[in-house]
Chains A and B, each alone.
Chain A
Amino acid sequence: QQQVKQSPQSLIVQKGGISIINCAYENTAFDYFPWYQQFPGKGPALLIAIRPDVSEKKEGRFTISFNKSAKQFSLHIMDSQPGDSATYFCAARWRAGSYQLTFGKGTKLSVIP
């Protein structure tokens, strides 16, 4: 099964708050889990990524938490800012062959002042 399930579909957070987006996968053939940020009319931009042998990775205000046994991972955006308003996609990469990415359906984040 190639699905990556992402929730919520949309999220409204006040400035300074914490935004949390969750993803779950089924296939154990994935070896790399990136998050992409996409603004309207633009291509997805890599935000942060994690490998399954690590439980957490932090880069600035962005943190990925990874639960290998539950096959779940999440993105936390601390001190959310209006400039963070965008659509966020989790993805999972096949560990062989084309190393193609399978994406979730996206979460539209709105950070209100």
Chain B
Amino acid sequence: DTGVSQDPRHKITKRGQNVTFRCDPISEHNRLYWYRQTLGQGPEFLTYFQNEAQLEKSRLLSDRFSAERPKGSFSTLEIQRTEQGDSAMYLCAGGDSLANTEAFFGQGTRLTVV
């Protein structure tokens, strides 16, 4: 158990709807990452937070995607006007910059857009 929890585990939504996912890392994780994984592929980096500041965003993160990490604790990832191409596993990972540890992943949220 990495201590990183994600909610919900599964989400089915109709195309055009908005969805929001939540990630709760452990308190030591001042670094927080969102990755996306499609079937048969490795995870791809989406965005990175250092505490509450969003410091880096991938080109994969279109304008329909927004992420927040208020108060440097939990994080949310929102997708607006979902498209079928958004169907994927959305993974959250936490890390501790002081200990310079590797990223620890949560179980992910499986999104299916129908």
Taking Cβ atoms with an 8 Å cutoff, the residues of A that contact B are 6, 32, 34, 36, 41-46, 49, 89, 91, 93, 97-106
> Is A46's CB under 8 angstroms from B43's CB?
no
CB-CB under 8 A for A46 and B48, given A97-B56, A100-B33, A103-B43: no
CB-CB under 8 A for A101 and B45, given A43-B106, A43-B108: yes
Q: Would you call the interface of chain A mostly helix, strand, loop, or mixed?
A: strand
Q: Please tell me if B63 contacts chain A, counting CB pairs below 8 Å.
A: no
> Is B110's CB under 8 angstroms from A41's CB?
yes
> Is B2's CB under 8 angstroms from A45's CB?
yes
Q: Would you call the interface of chain B mostly helix, strand, loop, or mixed?
A: strand
> Is B42's CB under 8 angstroms from A99's CB?
no
Contact of B105 among A43, A93, A102, A106 (CB under 8 A): A43
CB-CB under 8 A for A44 and B43, given A99-B31, A100-B48, A100-B56: yes
Count of B residues near A, CB < 8 Å?
Answer: 25
A105 to B108, CA, bound (A): 18
> Is A98's CB under 8 angstroms from B42's CB?
no
Q: Can you name 14 extra interface pairs (CB under 8 A) apart from A41-B110, A97-B56, A99-B31?
A: A6-B42, A43-B2, A43-B108, A44-B43, A44-B91, A46-B102, A46-B103, A89-B42, A97-B55, A98-B45, A101-B35, A101-B103, A102-B45, A103-B42
Q: Please tell me if B85 contacts chain A, counting CB pairs below 8 Å.
A: no
List residues of chain B with CB within 8 A of the CB of A32. Answer: 102
List residues of chain B with CB within 8 A of the CB of A100. Answer: 33, 45, 48, 56
> Is B40's CB under 8 angstroms from A43's CB?
no
A55 to B94, CA, bound (A): 27
Closest 7 pairs between A and B when the two form their complex, measured CB to CB: A103-B42, A98-B48, A43-B105, A98-B56, A100-B45, A43-B107, A43-B108
A104 to B37, CA, bound (A): 12
Contact of B107 among A42, A101, A102 (CB under 8 A): A42
A28 to chain B, nearest CB (A): 19
List residues of chain B with CB within 8 A of the CB of A97. Answer: 55-56
A10 to chain B, nearest CB (A): 10
